[in-house]
Every structure is written in C-alpha cells, then in structure tokens.
Structure 1
C-alpha cells in the first residue's frame, strides 16, 4: 500500500512525460487521451485482479503490416505488473 503514497522523483516524472509525448506523436493521439486509455485499462483490470497501476507501461508502436506493403499499423503494448491474481468476488 505504501507505493500509492510514494512520490515520484522529478526525473521519473519528466521521463514519463517524454514517453507520453513520443507515443502520442507516433499515433496522432494527445497525451491526455493516452492517459485516459491507461486509466481505463487499469480500471477494467482492477475489477478482476490486483495490479500495480503506478508501474504500468502502455506503449503504442507502429510496425509494417504482415502483407509487407509498407503501410504501418499502430499496435498497443501493455506491461502491467500483477500483484495478486486471486479472482475478486464478481457476485457483488
């Protein structure tokens, strides 16, 4: 529980902001929208398991498609640390 109250260093905050800017530039998505996507993913996953949302890493990359025609498709990659995989009571 302590990690919720831990403050990030200014270096880590700057690094996170730079990552968000680079990602948003790649896919024409604003940093605000990227943060909303991250929050929504954390909210949904938290219904089913306990995750470490402070250390989530969400990235959007562009790669060529499998047909090899050169067009690039964005892909979402998520690295989300799982703290506890015990299923929560869904009957509530």
Structure 2
C-alpha cells in the first residue's frame, strides 16, 4: 500500500537537502573559493594540526558557510576535525 505521508515527508527532506546544497554553492561562489582551494586549505590544516594532535583524516571536513547577520553574513570557514589522540610534548 502506498503511504502518502512517508512520500511527502521524503520530498520535504529532499527539498531541504537541495536547498542546503544550493545555499552552500552560493556561499562558496560569493567567497570566491573553488573546490581546489578548499582542498589545499584542508591539506594545509591537516599538516599543521598533525604536529600537535592525531586526527582522523577520513572524518575531517571543512566547509565555507555564511555567518549570521551580526557579522554582515560574511563567509566563514567551518571545520569538523575528529581527534583520535593528543600528542605529548
């Protein structure tokens, strides 16, 4: 049997995902940040951070996003960096 509510909730979910992807594309565009530049930044961050902490590179993720209105909606770099272990000096 076809469940209309599940179908509609799935569409809403897809709509929100597409909307978020479009928002990220526009922010990247306005920040003038190509995917290649973002990859270079990610590599540099991995090298710098690896001197002090052991990180999970597979879970490492960075994005350009938009700040809130109090910062005039400026682009911001947001990083998700899973830490496996702290290195001892």
TM-score range, shorter chain: 0.5 to 0.7
Structure number with larger C-alpha Rg: 2
Normalising by structure 2, report the TM-score. 0.61
Query: 2:79 is matched with which residue?
Result: 78
Q: Which runs of 4+ in 1 moved over 3 A?
A: none
Say whether the 8 Å CA contact 1:26–1:61 is kept in structure 2: no
Count matched residues: 66
Determine the structure 1 residue equivalent to 2:65. 61
Aligned to 2:52: 48
Q: Which runs of 5+ in 1 are unaligned?
A: 1-17
Task: Compute the RMSD of aligned alpha carbons.
Answer: 2.3
Shift of 1:31: 0.9
Q: For residue 24 of structure 1, what is the aligned residue in structure 2?
A: 28
Which 5+ residue runs of structure 2 have no aligned equivalent? 1-20
* Cα deviation digits, residues 24-80 of structure 1 (max 9, x gap): 33522111100000000010000001101121110111124426xxx3211111110
Query: Normalized against structure 1, the TM-score is what?
Result: 0.60
